[in-house]
Structure 1
Amino acid sequence: MKHDGLRKPSEDLTRILAENVRGFRHAKRLSQEELADLCGLHRTYIGSVERGERNATLSTLETLAGALDVSVIELLSKRDLNDEV
């Protein structure tokens, strides 16, 4: 199978990650800057993840999950609107 260019995750998965990072961050009452500091990332990177503009690496997912006290699976799983954070 020939593949041109970089592979990207589906829009659904990117949107799920964006919504979950934002939701878990809000639940912890963290600003983007505070989460970025906990992760050793730049605030604009967090914002771009939350807008679905970034293809986060596995190591970044682990870092975000650790800072938010959730699992990588929770970051990538579709959540029901009624789910508690």
Structure 2
Amino acid sequence: MLFGCAIRKFRTERQISQETFADMCGLHRTYISDIERGLRNVSLENIDKMSKALNMKISDIFKEIERNESI
């Protein structure tokens, strides 16, 4: 769930729709929606696709998750 929240945060900060983001990742929009709502487990391969689409390092996404876990 925390991973999905982080992805949504970074996606919306960049003003990218779920559909556009899904296209950028080569994934289906409903899959992105399910990830953001914490309904799907995500493979490392898809985490890599999403980080590249966001132009981020995977480690930076997980740093955001760690920051929010401590709140």
TM-score range, shorter chain: 0.7 to 0.9
Which ranges in structure 2 are unaligned for 5 or more consecutive residues?
Answer: none
Counterpart of 2:24 in structure 1 is 38
Point out the structure with max Rg over C-alpha. Answer: 1
TM-score scaled by structure 2? 0.85
| Greater fraction helix | 2
Q: Partners of 1:54 and 1:75 in 2: how far apart?
A: 17
Counterpart of 1:28 in structure 2 is 14
Counterpart of 2:56 in structure 1 is 70
TM-score scaled by structure 1? 0.72
Which ranges in structure 1 are unaligned for 5 or more consecutive residues?
Answer: 1-14, 81-85
Structure 1 residue ranges, 4+ long, deviating more than 6 angstroms after superposition: none
Root-mean-square deviation (CA, aligned residues, Å) is 1.2
